[in-house]
Chains A and B, each alone.
Chain A
Amino acid sequence: MKNQEEHSIYKVSNSRKRSKWALKYQEQCQANLKKVGMPSRNAEYWKFTSPKLWNTTGIISGSEKNLPENDTQYIENRPEFYVDFVDGIIDPVTLQNLNKKLKECEISNFEESVCDQFHWANKLLGEAETKARKSYERPFALLNGGETSQGLFLNCKESPRKPIHIFYSGEIEDKVNIRHLLKINTDSEFHIIEHFSGNARYNVVTEGFLDPNSTLNHNRLVSRFARNSIITHFFINCMDSSVVKTIGINLSNGAVRNETFLNLEGSQCDVTLAGLGVGCNQSSICDNAVFIAHLENSSKSRQIIKNVLTQGAKAVFQGKIYVDPKAQKTDGYQMSNGLLLDEESDFLVKPELEIYADDVICSHGSTSGSLNSEHLFYLKSRGISANEARKILVEAFLEEVVEEISDLEFSKFVRKEIQETLG
């Protein structure tokens, strides 16, 4: 079996060469990374977790339990629209099938796209990332940009009737770089669902460009079958009246960091970020770093983060709402809740508001605590066992995030996976 790097060399040497625009971007990433270097614990947005966790391979021991032979079997019925990435490499058959079925979008793989001099993405690749880097440096995204050869370039011209699922699975334990680029055209609505499982150390960057009045729905499930550290980047640029809903579900026992940057460049945008994490042992780290930039007037942003932690698990939430002087009538909301089931677990939170406009509504709150004993008694007084009552209340705590998922089939699947994870 080839690893991702060997595959990439093979591909490049046997096909057309990358276009100038793609080579330029790749070189810039490498040069910028050389300049800024990989992060250390001294960096402001890395003070709660060590960057080393995402820079070295470490398969989590003991999490093989219940692991199906093929990771992707964990979802019983394959959805109608899907693409597989196995060991970090796109399965061309699944892409071909998707292209046949999906007439609303123009989809190509990364390597094919970057060889096309006139590809629609030639002015977009790296643009949202550059904007994100203005908030703070993103060395792992630069690392990805300098090395990657895999991913999807997707130009959504009309609204597909169902979500497109991406499955990442496989056995290699190496690092895997994947980069997607999404363009959602005016009046289109697009829903993408990512499923992470397998042994690879994923570094995934998704750049999204939303034209006026478009909608992007995004769900990310890092399943209980993901057995290595994972870092994701979700950099989205929003024009007038566009809508983003991104929901992250983390059920892995490894280190997972999600960096989200939503750039509300247009007015009257409406964005929601919701995330839940279930951490059941010491190796479980769920680290969310969110930056939402309100740059024009009358946009709305909402963040809801929920983490259930036990047996020494750790969760981090660093969420910032930035409001530009021009962004009057901004409505920003941020809430993070940690449910600590023992005294060994940690929920570390750094909420930030940076506001330069005077006519705004912005609020943030954070709580952490144990299960409500009155609620427990209420359930027990009806004959429900203590264990069952605790499980019901933990699931109820997470439900606020799950019910944000608009695809009912997927939300049902997520509920089932949460139950399996909680045991």
Chain B
Amino acid sequence: MLEVKDLKVKISEVEKEIIQGFNLKINAGEVHAIMGPNGSGKSTLSHAICGKEGYEITGGDINLEGNSILELEAQDRATKGIFLAFQYPLEIPGVGNLSFMRTALNSQKKTRNEKELNPAEFLKLVKHKASQLSIDMEMLKRPLNVGFSGGEKKRNEILQMALLEPKLCILDETDSGLDVDAMRQVSQGVNALRSPNRSFLIITHYQRLLNYIKPDYVHIMVNGRIIKTGGPDLALQVEEKGYGHLNANQTN
């Protein structure tokens, strides 16, 4: 599904490369978690995969289903099936939540030459998906993320994911700012979307999210590259001993 090969990324204003020779392969249906301390380049990686402007790829390649996506703009990568659940979903006053979601879904359908949904068809679909995430219609009628609680914002991200049905879902610190109940709710939403054709890349600081969303692989990222890969046990090890321990082992 996704293959990142020897990727090197720098942010336009900064000289130093934040990602330095990063390699990762995610097969269809797999759930990979990337853990790492602050400043290890996790969010930079997610933005680089999604095509955010200001991130300069200085080396390597990113392939989705065997094709390089480096030349594609963010909206084209989204249409190809990449979805980023933001760490801090943006509040945009004046943009209605429902109309935004319908525009997004229909933009993707149009590009893929699929039939666009009319307002009634869309409403039926969104009502169904929203009820699974305990999102009421009132929340959907409000401006995009404006005045939403932390939990509501993250559930709104998962709702978009459910509507757009991407092939690769990247969750950037989705657990940040969530209480236990909200985390459980969000995780249930994510788990409901797991399928043999859909892959997940979960970026997190803490192991606790992985209690709810069971990963197939856990990678530890430090200084822009993966220093260790393992199963779910690796996350428990980090929780217990911290990143410093692994870092020291790696250096040795």
A binding-site residues for B, Cβ under 8 Å: 373-375, 377-386, 388-389, 392-393, 395-400
Contact = CB atoms under 8 A, between A and B. Distances in A.
Given A382-B164, A384-B75, A384-B107, A375 B90 contact: yes
Given A373-B53, A383-B108, A383-B164, A378 B75 contact: no
Interface stretch (B92-100, B210-218, B233-241, B242-250): B92-100
Nearest to A396: B94
A396 B97 CA distance: 12
A375 B144 CA distance: 11
Given A388-B103, A392-B100, A380 B75 contact: yes
Contacts of B50: 381
B104 A382 contact: yes
A383 B111 contact: yes
B91 to A, nearest CB: 9
Contacts of A385: 75, 107
- Report whether over half of chain A's contact residues are helix, strand or loop; otherwise say mixed: helix
Contacts of B164: 382-383
Given A373-B53, A377-B52, A377-B74, A384 B104 contact: yes
25 contacts: A375-B90, A375-B92, A377-B53, A377-B74, A378-B89, A379-B104, A380-B74, A380-B75, A380-B78, A381-B74, A382-B78, A382-B100, A382-B107, A382-B108, A383-B78, A383-B79, A383-B108, A384-B103, A385-B107, A386-B73, A389-B75, A392-B103, A396-B94, A396-B95, A400-B94
B94 A381 contact: no
Interface residues of B, number: 29
Contacts of A383: 75, 78-79, 104-105, 107-108, 111, 164
Nearest to B47: A377
Given A382-B83, A383-B108, A384-B107, 5 more contacts: A380-B75, A381-B51, A382-B75, A389-B75, A396-B93
A375 B90 CA distance: 7
B86 interface: yes
Contacts of B90: 374-375, 378
B187 interface: no
Contacts of B93: 396, 399-400
A30 B30 CA distance: 84
B18 interface: no
Contacts of A396: 92-95, 143
A398 B92 CA distance: 12
B204 interface: no
B20 interface: no
Contacts of A384: 75, 103-104, 107
**Central interface residue in A378, A386, A400, by most chain B CB within 10 Å:** A378
Contacts of B105: 383
B115 to A, nearest CB: 16
Contact of A397 (B86, B94, B160): B94
A392 B143 CA distance: 12
B96 to A, nearest CB: 9
Contacts of B51: 380-381
Contacts of A388: 103, 107
A421 to B, nearest CB: 17
B84 interface: yes
Contacts of A386: 73, 75
Contacts of B103: 384, 388, 392
Contacts of A398: 94
Contacts of A400: 93-94
Contacts of A374: 90
A378 B108 contact: no
A319 B78 CA distance: 44
Interface string B132-159: 0000000000010000000000000000
